[in-house]
Amino acid sequence: VYITVSPEVAKVAEGIDFFQPYLKGKQFSRARVLERFGDGAIFLEPAFIYGGGSFELNPPRAPTVYGKFIEGLLSASPVRSLERMMSPSILKIALEPPIPVETIVNAAVAGALGKTNVQALDSWDKIKEAAELVADPMPMPGGF
């Protein structure tokens, strides 16, 4: 199981120098995982993860309070319907709800335990569905 970045985010960030080392590291690691595990690899590809108590730039992350609020807004049915109809673009990325780090952890556990056979969990919906396959969700220590 490898946590990487959504292809749409990587494409938008291609022209931003600040993110190049981050993206190159993700691309290199993804290639090594594929070489080693092939079809057995599971990739989590979130657009944006939130958790913790502060904003971070590299890797990008929003604090829990802000992330929960934005996830609530962007996961509403009208916004989800609009986002699903859009072609890949920066606006489509902006409308994808952020994902709590706890959900990422649970989706990773589901992948490691073989509870999902989807190789690329590349959307909020797919990651949430995989996370729900873990019978006993794992809370993050210290509320991270």
Is the confidence at residue 139, as pLDDT, over 70?
no
With bands split at pLDDT 50, 70 and 90, how would you rate the model's confidence at 101? Answer: very high
Please list the residues that pair with 56 across neighbouring strands. 61
Is the confidence at residue 51, as pLDDT, over 80?
yes
Phi then psi for 123, rounded to 5 degrees? -150, 165
Is the confidence at residue 140, as pLDDT, over 80?
no
Is the confidence at residue 64, as pLDDT, over 80?
yes
Q: What is the pTM of this model?
A: 0.82
Is the confidence at residue 92, as pLDDT, over 80?
no
Q: What is the mean pLDDT of residues 60-71?
A: 88
3-state SS class at 56: strand
